[in-house]
């Protein structure tokens, strides 16, 4: 059984754990660098990217996360997690992990009251995925090695680079485990 870590500093931790358990994966809430050595993949959840970044710096997690990703650990970031994985944030100077060659704009779809749901055609899935967008980022620019797996109005909202997967939407807030299964397939 695969053991998937969920960065548990702030955000949608419990929701990711619930989806993983529904897929018969073992979930571990990661709060310390040494816990990164106990997992087969890592999820960076949605939440407040600034808060998660500050806490990750405070707890000494940025470099260890960067290191395990560089060593091949599969990683998946949702919303704030996508922002943390980006190489560049166009509208902030917050710390990033930089594992994904993309430029991301935070809150690109607007404020909380402009949140929305939309069916997404995702490469590799045979039917639309229910995208839940809450103060969501979008990708403004992708590097040469980045695959765009889903987009809305020409803005990428799901990307993959090697064993790094990211979405600007929140699959953990649905009952659909197909995106999490894509992470499990990267192990």
Burial class for 76, CB neighbours closer than 10 Å (0-12, 13-18, 19+): buried
Enter the tokens of residue 37.
Answer: 């050595």
User: Is 155 known to be catalytic?
Assistant: no
**Catalytic site residue from 170, 180, 181, 185:** 170
Strand arrangement, sheet containing 155-161: 26-30, 3-7, 41-44, 75-78, 164-167, 155-161, 147-152
User: Is 79 known to be catalytic?
Assistant: yes
Q: Which residues pair with 149 in a beta bridge?
A: none
User: Is 170 known to be catalytic?
Assistant: yes
**Catalytic site residue from 15, 16, 35, 79:** 79
Contact partners, residue 70, CB within 8 Å, separation at least 6 = 99
**Catalytic site residue from 21, 117, 140, 172:** 172
Catalytic residue numbers read 79, 170, 172
């Amino acid at each position: 059984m695969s053991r998937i870590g969920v960065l548990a500093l702030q955000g949608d931790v419990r929701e990711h754990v619930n989806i993983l358990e529904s897929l018969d994966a073992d979930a571990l809430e990661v709060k310390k660098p040494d816990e990164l050595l106990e997992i087969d993949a890592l999820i960076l959840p949605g939440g407040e990217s600034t808060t998660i970044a500050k806490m990750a710096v405070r707890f000494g997690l940025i470099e260890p996360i960067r290191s395990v990703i560089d060593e091949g650990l599969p990683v998946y970031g949702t919303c704030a997690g996508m922002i943390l994985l980006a190489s560049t944030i166009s509208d902030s100077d917050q710390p990033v992990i930089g594992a994904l060659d993309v430029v991301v704009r935070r809150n690109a779809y607007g404020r909380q009251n402009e949140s929305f749901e939309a069916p997404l055609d995702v490469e590799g899935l045979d039917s639309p995925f229910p995208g839940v967008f809450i103060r969501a980022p979008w990708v403004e620019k992708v590097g040469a090695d980045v695959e765009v797996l889903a987009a809305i109005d020409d803005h990428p909202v799901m990307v993959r680079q090697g064993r790094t997967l990211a979405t600007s939407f929140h699959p953990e807030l649905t009952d659909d485990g197909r995106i999490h299964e894509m992470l499990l397939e990267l192990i």
